[in-house]
């Protein structure tokens, strides 16, 4: 395109370029011809007038010469030709007026028009060309000069007037030039030779000029056409843009006043468009915001701007996106701004909603974890004010899961909302109160002095531990709080949160419903805990775990009726470790299910070495109840070792029943269906125990050793023990007392009718081999032989299929 253009430019300025015809697209040829005819047609009266005036001058100049008679004939001929020409012109004008302006000019019509004009021109040219032949022979040199002037004038005037049609100009020029030169040559004056040459030069100049002007005319026409087509295209595009989007164009003058857009008229639609109607000040359309300030700055500095999101000052509270740039006139003067606007109210609302959801908890309306992080990062940059103390609190509800499970999720939600409002009421001055998810919250507070800060935390803890009222029921749900005092303003946020979490863990460890401040020792402890977790995995692989057995004695007969299995860890470097040092970690890390399965298999394997009428008790942790492997493990271990299910007793604590009660009860019933016995361990240390006792038929109650310990010197403990015993009897359960260490304890318990006793007084937990003085213990080999005999004799009635069937019956109901 560029190359083409260049060639074109060069052509226009060289003689050869001027003479070469311009290429005109075929469909444009009649249009151009029509315009040529139109222009020349308008000039025709002048041409006619010029002819008449010139003819009059000639006749008057040479009336007294011998040529007068011939001149008479000549002028009549000229006038007649002129009259015919004018007549034809008037006729064609009338025809043109009647024509529908929208119909395109005809190819043949225009062609004929041009030809006709050329014929007329050549006729006139010939008439004028005859003049020198008539006049020159009868006049003197001076008069010949007059003829020359008239001829030159005719040549120039005529050609210029009809130059729009080069064919006509040429048809006129040729005969008139020939006539003039021949006329000059008829009179044998050497001076006339010069004039003849001059006439030829004139003719040449006129011819080139005509061609050049014609070329310019065609080029102008074509470029005008291109511009027109472009404008049409832009118009179409703009219309399409207006109709298909919610965008519109705007323009201001140099003062920022909205003006009409100089564009093909676009459909005016929507109130947004109306709001930008001309006359208004663009700045006054929007409510004051930071972005509006940016807009005003750009307008003032004559800078372009892009996608500014502005709040429109109208009752709908619309939002527009505005893009604009300064515009300048041809001489570079600033004349205003022009740009596009679009109504983004809807998408902005959606965007705002998404942003809100990404940063706020929909239930409580508090900032969420992501928001907390962002804000902490901001606040971490501002130093704590002199004398102030800042602390990050991590808060966790103690019984939330229980509320959710027993009262339902809507109640749980209600509880969370109440907690949120207590937090807001109590420390509304906090810099951040966020909900981290579930029943966890985080708070950043700043107080004047450490004492004020700790007082505030204590008060908050007290307030949160007060009972809640949810739809008429009183709910006790305390909170544990981990506190991290923020010392340096530039502390890493992740570390801060981790420390607060460790302090929270400590608060839970110290019995919940309390708060705890982070100390470096907590981090050390946590590290040790993590070490234990890793070690436990290894311990299971390396068979470092072992079971100890503690006998349970019938209080009436003194016979050993069963054993409780208690896990021990034979640590390669730390020696024998008791379960209190690792069971909690195993539960926290989830490895407890593997560990518990191992304990069950190991206990039932050992049970083979005990007399058939002796029971074996295994401790089950809350997480194990939810494990899908529990039932399968028990069924398989019972079958493999041919142990009668009634010999196996599972010891669970009340905490098992606190979470997801329905599921737990179903699972326990499923185990009972197999024939396994269930004992409630550590009875009296949990809470609301009676409720559970009614809902699930335990086989045994184990009175916690803390009561037994106090029997000798605490009346209350004796009363509680006795009451528990009566309760067990009323509910048809056996009762075992744990931690029996003294003769007097044994005596009291036997007297009040306790069924079984367990404690150091009878025996400490020991490896099985070391208990053979209390009951017969088979060697492994003897046990294996006994099992083989049992299988051979067909006595073996504990099959996997049978047990699984029993378990499945319940399972189907659970499903
Ligand atoms: P627990 O089920 O209440 O077990 C009884 C605890 O009391 C045992 O502690 C036992 O050694 C101790 N004990 C027994 N008689 C006396 C006594 O006369 N005086 C005193 N002071 N203590 C006595 P141990 O073996 O340290 O076990 C602690 C806890 O670890 C158990 O409490 C049980 O909850 C848990 N545990 C033990 N083995 C397992 C296991 O295989 N799985 C699970 N999940 N937990 C286990
Ligand atoms: Ca136990
Ligand atoms: Ca116990």
Measure the CA–CA gap between 533 and 780, rounded to whole angstroms. 32
Please tell me the predicted confidence (pLDDT) of residue 269.
47
Measure the CA–CA gap between 223 and 138, rounded to whole angstroms. 54
- The lowest-confidence range among 6-10, 123-127, 564-568, 689-693 is 6-10
What residues does the ion ligand 3 have nearby, CB within 5 Å?
681-682, 738
C-alpha 797 – ligand 3 centre gap (Å): 32
Is the pLDDT assigned to residue 330 strictly greater than 60?
yes
Q: What is the pLDDT of residues 331-342, one digit of tens each?
A: 889 999 998 888
Quote the percentage of the chain above a pLDDT of 90.
Answer: 46
Q: What is the pLDDT of residues 615-630, one digit of tens each?
A: 999 999 988 998 889 9
For ligand 1, mutation pick of 565, 566, 601 (most atoms within 8 Å of CB):
566
Q: Is 564 exposed, middle or buried (0-12, 13-18, 19+ CB in 10 A)?
A: buried
The CB of 705 under 6 Å from ligand 1? The reply is yes
Q: Which two tokens stand for residue 471?
A: 């739809």
Over the range 150-159, which residues count as b (16 or more CB within 10 Å of their CB) and which as e? bbbebbeebb
Q: What is the mean pLDDT of residues 541-547?
A: 95
Is the pLDDT assigned to residue 216 strictly greater than 60?
yes
Please tell me the predicted confidence (pLDDT) of residue 797.
62
Q: Which two tokens stand for residue 417?
A: 């909302």
The CB of 139 under 6 Å from ligand 1? The reply is no
Angle of helix 107-135 relative to helix 166-186, nearest 10 degrees, comes to 10
Is the pLDDT assigned to residue 755 strictly greater than 90?
yes
Measure the CA–CA gap between 520 and 525, rounded to whole angstroms. 9
Q: Which two tokens stand for residue 143?
A: 């008069």
Measure the CA–CA gap between 524 and 530, rounded to whole angstroms. 10
pTM (2 d.p.): 0.51
Is the pLDDT assigned to residue 543 strictly greater than 50?
yes
Is the pLDDT assigned to residue 663 strictly greater than 90?
no
Q: What is the mean pLDDT of residues 140-153?
A: 83
Mean pLDDT of the chain: 87
Q: Do residues 287 and 295 make contact, with C-beta atoms less than 8 angstroms apart?
A: no
Angle at 18 between CA 16 and CA 20, to 5 degrees: 65
Q: What is the mean pLDDT of residues 642-670?
A: 88
Q: What is the mean pLDDT of residues 184-193?
A: 80
Is the pLDDT assigned to residue 648 strictly greater than 80?
yes
Which string of DSSP letters, residue by residue, matches 614-657?
A: -EEEEE--HHHHH-THHHHHHHHHHHHTT--GGGEEEEE-HHHH
List the beta bridge partners of residue 381. Answer: none
Alpha helix ranges (H) inside 366-447: 369-380, 400-407, 409-426
What residues does the ion ligand 2 have nearby, CB within 5 Å?
619, 651, 681
Is the pLDDT assigned to residue 147 strictly greater than 90?
no
Is the pLDDT assigned to residue 489 strictly greater than 80?
no
Give me the torsion for CA of 777, 781, 787, 788, rounded to 10°: -160
Number of H helices, E strands in the chain: 29, 21
Q: Which of 692, 760, 696, 754 is nearest to 406 (CA)?
A: 692
Measure the CA–CA gap between 716 and 273, rounded to whole angstroms. 86
Q: Whose CA is nearest to atom 13 of ligand 1?
A: 739
* Phi and psi angles of residue 447, each rounded to the nearest 5 degrees, phi first: -135, 160
Q: Please count the other Cβ atoms lying within 10 Å of the Cβ belonging to residue 544.
A: 16
For residue 440, the number of C-alpha atoms closer than 13 Å in the C-beta half-sphere is 14
C-alpha 685 – ligand 1 centre gap (Å): 14
Q: Which two tokens stand for residue 258?
A: 């909205």
The CB of 682 under 6 Å from ligand 1? The reply is yes
Q: What is the pLDDT of residues 444-474, one digit of tens each?
A: 999 999 999 999 999 999 999 999 999 888 8
* Phi and psi angles of residue 329, each rounded to the nearest 5 degrees, phi first: -85, -175
Q: Whose CA is nearest to atom 23 of ligand 1?
A: 739
Is the pLDDT assigned to residue 266 strictly greater than 50?
no
């Amino acid at each position: 395109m560029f190359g083409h253009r260049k060639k074109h430019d060069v052509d226009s300025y060289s003689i050869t370029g001027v003479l070469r015809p311009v290429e005109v697209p075929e469909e444009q040829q009649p249009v151009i011809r029509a315009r040529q005819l139109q222009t020349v047609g308008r000039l025709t009266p002048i041409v006619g007038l010029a002819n008449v005036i010139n003819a009059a001058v000639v006749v008057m100049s040479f009336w007294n010469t011998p040529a007068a008679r011939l001149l008479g004939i000549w002028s009549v001929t000229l006038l007649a030709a002129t009259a015919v020409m004018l007549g034809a012109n008037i006729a064609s004008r009338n025809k043109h007026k009647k024509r529908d302006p929208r119909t395109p000019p005809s190819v043949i019509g225009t062609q004929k028009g041009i030809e006709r004009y050329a014929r007329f021109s050549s006729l006139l040219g010939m008439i004028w060309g005859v003049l020198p032949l008539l006049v020159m022979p009868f006049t003197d040199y001076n008069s010949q000069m007059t003829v020359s002037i008239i001829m030159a004038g005719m040549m120039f005037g005529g050609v210029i007037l009809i130059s729009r049609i080069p064919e006509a100009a040429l048809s006129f020029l040729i005969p008139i030039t020939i006539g003039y030169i021949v006329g000059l040559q008829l009179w044998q004056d050497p001076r006339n030779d010069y004039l003849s040459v001059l006439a030829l030069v004139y003719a040449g100049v006129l011819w080139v000029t005509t061609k050049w002007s014609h070329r310019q005319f065609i080029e102008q026409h074509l470029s005008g056409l291109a511009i027109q087509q472009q404008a049409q295209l832009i118009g179409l595009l703009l219309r399409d843009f207006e109709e298909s989007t919610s965008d519109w164009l705007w323009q201001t003058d140099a003062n920022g006043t909205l003006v009409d857009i100089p564009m093909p008229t676009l459909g005016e639609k929507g109130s947004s468009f109306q709001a930008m109607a001309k006359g208004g000040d663009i700045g006054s359309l929007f409510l004051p915001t930071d972005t509006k300030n940016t807009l005003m700055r750009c307008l003032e500095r004559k800078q372009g701007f892009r996608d500014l999101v502005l709040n429109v000052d109208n009752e709908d509270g619309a939002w527009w996106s505005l893009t604009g740039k300064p515009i300048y006139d041809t001489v570079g003067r600033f004349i205003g701004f022009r740009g596009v606007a679009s109504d983004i109210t809807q998408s902005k609302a959606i965007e705002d909603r998404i942003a809100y959801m990404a940063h706020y908890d929909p239930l409580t309306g508090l900032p969420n974890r992501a928001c907390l992080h962002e804000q902490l990062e901001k606040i971490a940059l501002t130093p704590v004010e002199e004398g102030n103390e800042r602390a990050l609190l991590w808060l966790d509800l103690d019984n939330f899961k229980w509320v959710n499970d027993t009262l339902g999720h809507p109640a749980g939600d209600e509880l969370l909302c109440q907690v949120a409002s207590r937090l807001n009421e109590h420390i509304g001055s906090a810099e951040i109160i966020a909900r981290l998810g579930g029943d966890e919250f985080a708070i950043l507070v700043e107080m004047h002095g450490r004492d004020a800060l700790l007082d505030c935390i204590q008060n908050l803890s007290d307030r949160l531990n007060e009972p809640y009222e949810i739809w008429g029921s009183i709910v006790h749900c305390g909170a544990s709080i981990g506190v991290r005092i923020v010392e340096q303003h530039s502390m890493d946020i992740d570390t801060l949160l981790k420390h607060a979490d460790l302090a929270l863990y400590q608060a839970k460890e110290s019995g919940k419903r309390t708060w705890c401040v982070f100390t470096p020792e907590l981090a050390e402890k946590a590290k040790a805990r993590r070490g234990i977790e890793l070690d436990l995995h290894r311990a299971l692989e390396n068979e470092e775990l072992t079971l100890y057995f503690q006998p349970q004695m019938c209080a009436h007969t003194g016979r050993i009726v069963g054993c409780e299995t208690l896990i021990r860890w034979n640590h390669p470097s730390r020696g024998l470790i008791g379960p209190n040092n690792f069971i909690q970690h195993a539960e926290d890390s989830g490895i407890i299910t593997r560990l518990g399965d191992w304990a069950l298999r190991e206990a039932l394997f050992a049970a083979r070495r005990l007399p058939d009428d002796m029971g074996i008790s295994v401790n089950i942790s809350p997480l194990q109840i939810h494990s899908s492997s529990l039932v399968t493990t028990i069924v398989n271990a019972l079958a493999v070792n041919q142990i009668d299910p009634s010999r196996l007793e599972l010891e669970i604590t009340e905490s098992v029943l606190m979470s997801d009660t329905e599921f737990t009860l179903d699972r326990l019933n499923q185990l009972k269906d197999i024939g396994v016995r269930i004992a409630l361990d550590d009875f009296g240390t949990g809470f609301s125990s009676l409720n559970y006792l009614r809902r699930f038929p335990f086989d045994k109650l184990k009175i916690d050793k803390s009561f037994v310990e106090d029997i000798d010197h605490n009346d209350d403990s004796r009363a509680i023990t006795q009451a528990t015993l009566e309760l067990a009897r009323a509910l048809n359960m056996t009762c075992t007392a744990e931690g029996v260490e003294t003769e007097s304890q044994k005596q009291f318990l036997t007297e009040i009718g306790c069924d079984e006793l367990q404690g150091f007084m009878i025996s400490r937990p020991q490896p099985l081999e070391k208990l053979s003085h209390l009951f017969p213990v088979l060697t492994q080999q003897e046990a294996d032989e006994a099992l083989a005999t049992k299988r051979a004799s067909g006595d073996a009635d504990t099959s996997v299929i049978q047990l699984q069937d029993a378990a499945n019956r319940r399972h189907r109901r659970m499903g």
